[in-house]
Amino acid sequence: MEKITLITGATAGFGEAIAHEFAAHKYNIIITGRRAERLEKVKGELEKKHGVKVMALNFDVRKLEDVKKNIASLPAEWQNIDVLVNNAGLASGLNNIQEGDTEDWEKMIDTNIKGLLYVTRTVAPLMIKNKKGHIFNIGSVAGKEVYANGNVYCATKHAVDALTKATRIDLLQHGIRVTGICPGMAETEFSIVRYHGDEAKAKNVYKGIDALTAQDIAEVIYFAASRPAHVNISDVVITPTQQATATYVVRREA
């Protein structure tokens, strides 16, 4: 059987690009996401463009029972997962702590921390059983520093950073590789989601910047996954050339 990569949140952005990058290198792909129609569309495109096999699992990473049920529903040969990319995640809102919307907070904590944990808890035992595996957690520069009004999103990505390190230690004895990927500004649907659908506000975030693309991230992940078995790339911070830290950005004049 060919190699298999499972990517959470592959209906858009990084996840979709990562799916294409691994498919281009002839991995079979398991894609997940909540938007069923988009999931089917991405599945069709992957199959047509790369001629690989694709499984689409339609579930919300926040629901533990659904995570377990969907992974368990995979035929035995599909449970032989080589690479897991814990990508599904979001920022919701950009408010100071005293005015933050607690629904936004629940969404980010439940998706970025608990969802990532649920998927890892379900897939890691399969990797241990198969005596191989590589887990990528998508963190952020927001997991390395905090910035004004980023409070809860930054906290969730700091948690991802801690979990990446902890997972690497716990899975060390099983020879499973664990890599943290920490991007800066990348133009996907991320800011549209953060601003609750306000596309003009989202566009403005990247004004005067050659932002990262989803493809930039996908290529780095494939590079790390394709290193020889004895090499583990632990942590990668990737920013646009115009971004030095989470907040220090030099924009082109209009």
Q: Which residues are catalytic?
A: 153
Judged on CB neighbours under 10 Å (0-12, 13-18, 19+), 145 is: middle
Contact flag: residue 13 with ligand NDP (CB under 6 A) = yes
Cα four-point dihedral sign 62, 63, 66, 68: positive
Instruction: Draw the binding track, 204-223, toward ligand NDP (x: CB under 6 A; -: no contact).
Output: --------------------
Contact flag: residue 138 with ligand NDP (CB under 6 A) = yes
Strand-pair partners of 235: 180
End-to-end CA distance of the chain: 53
Contact flag: residue 239 with ligand NDP (CB under 6 A) = no
The helix (run of H) or strand (run of E) holding residue 106 is helix 102-108
Contact flag: residue 33 with ligand NDP (CB under 6 A) = yes
Query: What is d(CA 111, CA 100) in angstroms, rounded to the nearest whole number?
Result: 17
The one among 141, 159, 209, 211 contacting ligand 8X3 by CB under 6 A: 141
Closest to ligand 8X3 by CB, 88 or 127: 88
Closest to ligand NDP by CB, 128 or 146: 146
Q: Residue 60 binds which one of ligand 8X3, ligand NDP, none, with CB within 5 to 8 A depending on kind?
A: ligand NDP
Scan for tokens 């887990």, then name that residue. 135
Touching ligand NDP, residues 103-132 (CB under 6 A): 111, 115
Encoded amino acid at 9, one letter: G
Contact flag: residue 189 with ligand NDP (CB under 6 A) = yes
The one among 4, 15, 30, 152 contacting ligand NDP by CB under 6 A: 15
Query: What is d(CA 190, CA 216) in angstroms, rounded to the nearest whole number?
Result: 15
177-183 and 134-138 beta bridge pairing: parallel
**Those residues with Cβ within 8 angstroms of residue 231's Cβ, 6 or more apart along the chain or in another chain:** none
Residues that bind ligand 8X3 (CB under 6 A): 140-142, 150, 184-185, 246
Residues that bind ligand NDP (CB under 6 A): 8-15, 33-35, 38, 60-62, 87-90, 111, 115, 138, 140, 183, 185-186, 188-190, 193
